[in-house]
Structure 1
């Protein structure tokens, strides 16, 4: 049974395809359209999934083999009901916004089945048959994306995001092929929207700036945490919560916060790209601490109540890897697994899995370490395709064998070069995991600054993550879980590799000290000695593992900086053409695509560009 899952029309639209319960392919539309967080119907992503599954479109426009079901990741009528009821609850506030948005909402929500079938028929007529189209609730899609690929036969599933149809937080129990939501917190009380409110107040964009707020938090002190707890959110002992909606505007307007919120903290919102001050770092630290408080209380109470030992996480809040690290260190659950595409893109996969196990009643086989196949579920390109693209682009390149490729790339990295690394299938989810990555030496004190300002063209405070050989991770980091293959847990650098005492580190806080050398791997050590670790195994990614081994043999260091292959504001690269454009338009020194090697010094000057200037900042 082949099932296609789709998420679309809000942000991070995506497609995923499963065959008899096995995940075959998944991809976000933004990677093809080159529009960050693209919300449009995922035509290109659907076609990529069909191609990966061997589904061909014949002369009559039919699919061979056929798709049994297409599943949408939420229920439009229920979401529209929430929009109407929210307006009625707050009326007459927000009438102008409601009047403007109603025609769009009605078109999208009331007629979404027709809209979906129309778009699907553009790909293949049989794909748009109305009897094939199913709908899963938003939080069930998230929960299914977390539980079914996990390595657990039984687990508690916690979903937290902005809002689905009504739910903002939900708890589910998964056993075998069964998955049931047992508890929910409804809109407008949302931990995700609370965090997004502070994101916008700090001058960043919703749905993209939350990472920045999380990265800014270690530079500050949580001096506003009590203010948040007294005025904005009431957290019960079991972690359930309510927001005081007098401080927020997202129910009745187009802004997250209002004048009462701004008066509470004594300042108007920060303007984007304006200087970041200690006030903003302290705000970030405060909301991060409050978020962690909610999650710790929730998970401790749920562990006591249910007796479950395994926890699965999904929803946008599950991408808060600092909080995930605190949950792992807390130990309320023995094992934690987070869906690597925890946001709305992952809802496409969850919708397909929910249909397979809950609608079609198909059995489930538990896969260890998980069923995500390293989350490398997107398109790949053959050597012939790559070389054809390079010749067409007119770049200079050489082709080398595997041994020379690994040794030469490791030597270049050790010598301080920044390398674009493009291999195999593209990753699904927001993290580059060694297939669409920019790599560099973590031992360099200057590399964090170089990568931010000359390669990524982003804020200087943004941290970078280490990819470390799985077998060496415990020697370098305080690992609360044996593995972290998806870069979703923050831990700390082991004491043996730190250069500052706790007292020295406490004195050298704040943005003025962001480039202080704190460890033997300063480029991946954050202000508080934290690091967002990715463990790499030979089983999950043999080629990337081999490169890390080569680097270790040459330097003694078993890790590399791994950041996503893109510049600020653009999606991660998908094709060789995307990779070459990024390489030529940044300060990268070398690009490795498959076995093809491009050196910046060999490229015709006329091909170099500043294309990042045309990319809208995120």
Structure 2
């Protein structure tokens, strides 16, 4: 019997992606940015689609249905109504967006078919938050669950509560534009000097350095919050309806000055703003979750949408919320919409049954991207004249564990690339979490990013409860939990008065490189079932050091997407202060390599040696 293939696509806003199902099974999924090397690439995912088809060994003519993750006409309706509602204030913004919509986005059907080589099959559209909800529920390990989606905005919806049972998914209620938790957080991202749609992680990482001094001001002036988690934003303080920025002059006045200039020095004010909006966000998430629980009566919760990447808020939902179990889509942002619409076509449109394996999701660890064979990797290394050594598996794991224990930083490129924003042990840079110098070294010498940014621990699933206050799986690095109290080091008396960045270099635990200043960590649990090589590497490090934890940060530098190919990884290795590189079974050491001669704009920007 012939297989049934469904291709899902998200595109034209940010972080475009493609995902492919074969008889309902996820075969492949990837973001376009990984192939084009343009961070957050919003263009049609030409290369991601080509990869998905290649992975399945088919052509586009073998695809039965293609789905698009939102409804462009509904979105255009919202944009037009917004412009007319605030006219004439939004004229400048309309002059920028209007022609693009009229020229391209109103003809999405034609554009999609052309981009797919003239494909003339069944092309279907789902609403944005339905795509998010489907990406959260259908791959989850739950037969039935409440669903909560939260982001900036889709067509009209900015958050939704739904319920999934078997193959059925229904959205029960939604919040609508312009009241948006995602846009509230993005407004503070913009105001604190970071880039919207990518700098939100920085705000979350900065928050523990601050004090919640602005929380009352936010509730008094910006957010009218109700018990059920719904709220109204006072548009006097925002400019995303009519202007080209997120915040208005009234916002500047309320918080004592203009937005921070990007790349300028961070002050205590930005830290306090970050802490304040994070606390407000967590409270709203908790109230929405309680409403979802009350309306569905179900013990399980599935999360998706950009706000679901707020792992600090997720940790609070797990600890303080009403649900017994939570599952979060690892590609919760718009990229995951490609997967969601494909699942909707399979289960809702085609009415195919859903197979649930209790306790296991169907995301395959999010390892859904390209992998590269040993011969392919070696041919590349030879073409570069690289100095390398091939090792047998056990020898390689032992060697890398010894390098890490010696405070060396290692690029780890192994197996299929991850889908979503997190590196999960396939495209990762690894370090020793016991080193008090590791965080600063990796931030400044490897990642070329702000020194305050925390790093995440990867910990063996069987050992997680001995090191963190967490007794559930966290395979996708989407839960923050406290470091175990017995692993903590109390703050010295002379350090208790410190605030802000002055707190950065205080050793707080046995694993200081992954312990944030509030004694928390963004935990990834690693099981042998989903990633045996990474699991056994950490086990080798544990056998050597007694510590079943490694530092895991994404294999990229600031401003670049996570590496995809051996060439991407080699280039990043040669341009940074990474000490060693593992490409499959091949090990490279920086000391043995020739001089890196490729001078690029990238190098000049970061002034690398």
TM-score by structure 1 length?
0.96
Q: Is the 8 A contact 1:196 1:207 kept in 2?
A: yes
1:135-163, CA deviations, whole angstroms, 9 ceiling, x for partnerless residues? 11110000000000000010011000000
Q: CA separation in 2, counterparts of 1:224 and 1:197?
A: 14
How many angstroms does 1:108 deviate by?
A: 2.6
Residue aligned with 1:68, SS = strand
Q: Does 1:74 align with 2:61?
A: no
Q: Which residue of 2 aligns with 1:14?
A: 17
Q: CA separation in 2, counterparts of 1:193 and 1:38?
A: 20
Q: Which residue of 1 aligns with 2:184?
A: 194
Q: CA separation in 1, counterparts of 2:15 and 2:364?
A: 21
How many angstroms does 1:340 deviate by?
A: 0.1
Q: Which residue of 1 aligns with 2:108?
A: 112
| More displaced 10-residue stretch of structure 1: 295-304 or 575-584 | 295-304
How many angstroms does 1:99 deviate by?
A: 3.0
Q: Which residue of 2 aligns with 1:388?
A: 379
Q: Which residue of 2 aligns with 1:95?
A: 91
Sort the Cα spacing of 1:541 and 1:505 in 2 relative to 1 into closer, same or farther, 3 A. farther
Q: Is the 8 A contact 2:286 2:321 kept in 1?
A: no
Q: Does 1:239 align with 2:229?
A: yes
Q: Which residue of 2 aligns with 1:590?
A: 580
Q: CA separation in 1, counterparts of 2:180 and 2:136?
A: 20
Structure 2: which 5+ runs fail to align? Answer: none
Q: CA separation in 2, counterparts of 1:448 and 1:579?
A: 21
How many angstroms does 1:98 deviate by?
A: 1.3
1:388-445, CA deviations, whole angstroms, 9 ceiling, x for partnerless residues? 1111122111101011100000000000100000000000000000000000000000
Q: Which residue of 1 aligns with 2:428?
A: 437
Q: Which residue of 1 aligns with 2:52?
A: 49
Q: CA separation in 2, counterparts of 1:74 and 1:105?
A: 15
Q: Does 1:464 align with 2:460?
A: no
Q: Is the 8 A contact 2:20 2:342 kept in 1?
A: yes
Q: CA separation in 1, counterparts of 2:475 and 2:221?
A: 39
Residue aligned with 2:173, SS = strand
Q: CA separation in 2, counterparts of 1:170 and 1:504?
A: 47
Structure 1: which 5+ runs fail to align? Answer: none
The 5-angstrom pairing of residues 399-418 of structure 1 reads 399-418=390-409
Q: Is the 8 A contact 2:556 2:562 kept in 1?
A: yes
Q: Does 1:23 align with 2:13?
A: no
Q: Which residue of 1 aligns with 2:475?
A: 485
Q: Which residue of 2 aligns with 1:353?
A: 343
1:322-358, CA deviations, whole angstroms, 9 ceiling, x for partnerless residues? 0000000114100000000000000000010011111
Q: Is the 8 A contact 2:482 2:519 kept in 1?
A: yes
Q: CA separation in 2, counterparts of 1:210 and 1:557?
A: 31
Q: Is the 8 A contact 1:138 1:347 kept in 2?
A: yes
How many angstroms does 1:466 deviate by?
A: 0.2
Q: CA separation in 2, counterparts of 1:507 and 1:553?
A: 39
Q: Is the 8 A contact 1:79 1:109 kept in 2?
A: no
Q: Which residue of 2 aligns with 1:214?
A: 204
Sort the Cα spacing of 1:46 and 1:457 in 2 relative to 1 into closer, same or farther, 3 A. same
Q: Does 1:599 align with 2:602?
A: no
Q: CA separation in 1, counterparts of 2:237 and 2:592?
A: 57
Q: Is the 8 A contact 2:147 2:292 kept in 1?
A: no
How many angstroms does 1:569 deviate by?
A: 0.4
Q: CA separation in 2, counterparts of 1:110 and 1:98?
A: 15
How many angstroms does 1:502 deviate by?
A: 9.4
Q: Is the 8 A contact 1:585 1:608 kept in 2?
A: no
Residue aligned with 1:23, SS = strand
Q: Is the 8 A contact 1:197 1:257 kept in 2?
A: yes
Q: Is the 8 A contact 2:163 2:296 kept in 1?
A: no
Sort the Cα spacing of 1:202 and 1:616 in 2 relative to 1 into closer, same or farther, 3 A. farther
Q: CA separation in 2, counterparts of 1:614 and 1:359?
A: 52
Q: CA separation in 1, counterparts of 2:105 and 2:493?
A: 56
Q: CA separation in 1, counterparts of 2:598 and 2:98?
A: 47
The 5-angstrom pairing of residues 245-256 of structure 1 reads 245-256=235-246
Q: Does 1:613 align with 2:594?
A: no
Sort the Cα spacing of 1:110 and 1:331 in 2 relative to 1 into closer, same or farther, 3 A. closer
Q: CA separation in 1, counterparts of 2:238 and 2:197?
A: 17
The list of structure 1 runs, each at least 4 consecutive aligned residues, that deviate by more than 6 angstroms after superposition, is: 502-505, 608-611
Q: CA separation in 1, counterparts of 2:170 and 2:268?
A: 44
TM-score by structure 2 length?
0.97
The 5-angstrom pairing of residues 185-584 of structure 1 reads 185-367=175-357, 368-479=359-470, 481-501=471-491, 506-584=496-574
1:476-520, CA deviations, whole angstroms, 9 ceiling, x for partnerless residues? 0001x5110000000110110111159777434421121110101
Q: CA separation in 1, counterparts of 2:605 and 2:79?
A: 33
Q: CA separation in 1, counterparts of 2:94 and 2:535?
A: 53
How many angstroms does 1:609 deviate by?
A: 6.2
| More displaced 10-residue stretch of structure 1: 599-608 or 293-302 | 599-608
**Aligned residues, how many?**
603
Residue aligned with 2:104, SS = helix
